[in-house]
């Protein structure tokens, strides 16, 4: 399964390629990403047609719901609300099970610790 929980057959259908072609693309991508991470190389995505991930946000000032590129949100710029221009957008498409959780160094330097009592 992939990040979205899809089986390889469904991924191949979405990419409009055969399953063997999808498997070759996936294997090649895994090798390239692994090599880049281990050897400290940059990853460049080019060619073909692709769509950047977008997040659903709700403005903290006027409660307007809108989409913004995830990359914009990560850069710390924040996405400006199309209605009022405020940069207080909060993600609303987040998995509710992850609310209150953040990755930080726990015992033995790994694992999830939560901010919630429980």
Tell me the longest C-alpha to C-alpha distance in the chain. 49
**Low-confidence winner among 14-18, 35-39, 44-48, 109-113 (lowest mean pLDDT):** 109-113
According to the model, what pLDDT value does residue 102 have? 45
Q: What are phi and psi of 65, to 5 degrees?
A: -100, 135
- Residue tagged 């999808």 (tokens): 22
pLDDT at position 82: 92
**How far apart are the C-alpha atoms of 25 and 48, rounded to whole Å?**
13
pTM over 0.85: no
Average pLDDT over residues 29-36: 92
The answer to whether 36 touches 42, Cβ cutoff 8 Å, is yes
How confident is the model over 57-105, as pLDDT tens digits?
A: 899 899 999 988 776 665 546 788 899 999 888 888 765 554 444 444 4
Least confident of 39-53, 71-85, 104-118: 104-118
Q: What is the distance, to the nearest Å, from the Cα of residue 2 to the centroid of all Cα atoms in its chain?
A: 12
The pair of structure tokens assigned to 108 is: 């033995």
């Amino acid at each position: 399964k992939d990040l979205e929980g899809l089986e390889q057959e469904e991924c191949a259908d979405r990419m409009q390629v055969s399953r063997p072609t999808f498997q070759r693309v996936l294997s090649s991508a895994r090798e390239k990403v692994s090599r880049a991470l281990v050897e400290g190389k940059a990853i460049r995505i080019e060619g073909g047609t692709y769509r950047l991930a977008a997040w659903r946000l709700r403005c903290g000032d006027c409660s307007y719901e809108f989409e913004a590129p995830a990359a914009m949100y990560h850069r710390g710029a924040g996405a400006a609300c199309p209605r009022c221009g405020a940069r207080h957008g909060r993600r609303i498409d987040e998995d509710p099970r992850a609310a209150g959780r953040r990755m930080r160094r726990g015992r033995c330097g790994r694992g999830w610790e939560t901010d919630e009592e429980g």
